[in-house]
Amino acid sequence: MPITPDPLPRPIDHLTECGRDEDPALVLRKATLSWKDLRRRVALLAGWLADRVPERGARIASWAAKGELTCLLPLAAARAGLVHVPVNPLLKRAQVAHILADSGAKLLIGTPARLATLEDGDLPVDCLPLGEDTALSEVASAEKMLAPSCADPSDLAAILYTSGSTGRPKGVMLSHANMWLGAASVASYLGMEADDVTLAVLPLSFDYGQNQLFYSWYCGASVVPLDYLTPRDVTKSCARHGVTTLAAVPPLWVQLVELDWPQDAVTSLRRLTNSGGALTVDLVRALRTMFPQARLFPMYGLTEAFRSTFLDPALVDTHPTSMGRAIPFAEILVIDDQGQLAKPGEEGELVHCGPLVAQGYWQDEERTAERFKPAPAMSEYGGMAVWSGDRVRRDEEGLLYFVGRRDAMIKSAGNRISPQEIEDAAMATGLVAEAVALGVPDERLGQAVHLIVRGSGDEDGLRAALKRELPNFMQPRVVRWLEAMPLNPNGKIDRAALQAMEAA
């Protein structure tokens, strides 16, 4: 039977207790860990971490592809009283150096090839780099095992770094309760069961990517982590493992519906979930046609509060553009420009209240105060709320619809991209005098990055420099050279005029 959400949060490492000993919990490329294996490996890894980094509350970072280490670290670090900082494996050394310095990480476990790209000064003085294979070898020979923790659910357990519209990535602080209740909430509304198999294709450094593990394990199901090279790898894995649950972002869904799926990959699927951007009406119809037996769950969320809404699959065909309603443990208010509850049909800011709200940004009181504010007076939960900056409206039926963003954030292929980070990288090359990065609507990516610059005209040199400093998903699709930037009445670069020019 489908589970019901447990309103009482627990330490996140207690997820190891949710499955039956003999059932599969984690299906790796060369081995399958049963629940009994999972419990033992997490206990050993936690014991090894506690010896390596004895300071409780210290941050440890991981920078590696999906595997045993990256899947178990979130639970083992929490059990050892440490704070896990998962780093997106697609990031380059400059972004990683910022995350390590900002978090004050004491240990960085990564693949040797990634660690080799770091330069002098990239690692904090007291941060130890350790190869993934070396770490696993040490854990295998370790004897100390830690039992499930008695941590306070409000204790900090993880810091997830996410891009904002300005500046470098900021660390969102997540407690045990945030992650436990997030797992309970999603497992509940997806109707997850112990015999489910989740194909984890989203990066584990993303909130929902990590939650793929947590909501599956919450109900005793198994997870198959996959770093895919091509969309066809996804279809093959679905067939090979009898996958029942598949989450993706819109650009991947676009590629997946263009493939011919083998029947054994289709028939096992029970549910499809979407995050990282809205599905188009055409894409919804394509998914419903290709997977008629699977329930489709469009979702909306933000790292600062995990998930906020989901659309009931029963309403997808009749309301394909809706964000749906609040998920369990979330209260979603639409607040107008006067600070009042917006009426049905009126536009307002989405405000997320309740226990899924994160603890703020790591060591950044200024930016925390901008986004995390007291809940509106009409909130049932009260406390702190996340003021999303997203403009939405609620219809007469209570369904929410996305209107637009208030800031300049670019969302491309499911990634949140800071325009300023791209602009700073362009300026640092010395090849441009001014730079503006914009997100332009794109059918496959959601938004494509366009970079408008004034400078030397050396596009090959600019692109080569950006490829060295920025990950692939931040690379501009279009670089436009102007002799002069348009200015607004205040003498500042007119971003709205540039946006209109690129959209034309």
Tens-digit pLDDT profile for residues 313-341: 999 999 999 999 999 999 999 999 999 99
Q: Any idea which of 74-78, 213-217, 237-241, 413-417 has the lowest mean pLDDT?
A: 413-417
Domain locations in the chain as residue ranges: 410-503
Q: pLDDT band for position 165 (50/70/90)?
A: low
Task: Say yes or no to pLDDT of 406 above 80.
Answer: no
Q: What is the CATH number of domain 410-503?
A: 3.30.300.30
| 343-375 tens-digit pLDDT | 999 999 999 999 999 999 999 999 999 999 999
Of the two residues 499 and 312, the one the predictor is more confident about is 312
How does pLDDT run across 28-57, given as a tens digit for each residue?
A: 999 999 999 999 999 999 999 999 999 999
pTM of the full structure = 0.87
Please give the average per-residue pLDDT across 162-177, as a whole number: 84
Average pLDDT of the chain is: 93
State residue 418's pLDDT score: 81
Helices 68-79 and 207-218: angle between axes, nearest 10 degrees: 80
70-122, pLDDT tens digit by residue? Answer: 999 999 999 999 999 999 998 999 899 999 999 999 999 999 999 999 999 99
Tell me which of 499 and 291 has the higher pLDDT. Answer: 291
- The rounded distance, in Å, linking the Cα atoms of 272 and 74 is 25
The Cα–Cα gap between 98 and 202 comes to 23
**pLDDT category of residue 472 using cuts at 50, 70 and 90:** very high
415-435 confidence digits (pLDDT tens): 888 887 898 899 889 999 888
Q: Helix, strand or coil for residue 468?
A: helix
Residue 20, φ and ψ in degrees, nearest 5: -85, 145
SS3 of the chain: helix, strand, coil, percent, to 5: 30, 25, 40
pLDDT above 70 coverage of the chain, percent: 97
Q: Are strands 446-455 and 478-481 parallel, antiparallel or unpaired?
A: parallel
Q: What is the pLDDT, as a whole number, of residue 277? A: 77
160 close to 304: Cβ distance less than 8 angstroms: no
Half-sphere exposure in the Cβ direction for 280 (13 Å, CA): 16
Residue 25 pLDDT more than 90?
Answer: yes
Query: What is the C-alpha to C-alpha distance for residues 162 and 57, in angstroms, rounded to an integer?
Result: 21
Q: With cut-offs at 50, 70 and 90, classify the pLDDT of residue 164.
A: low
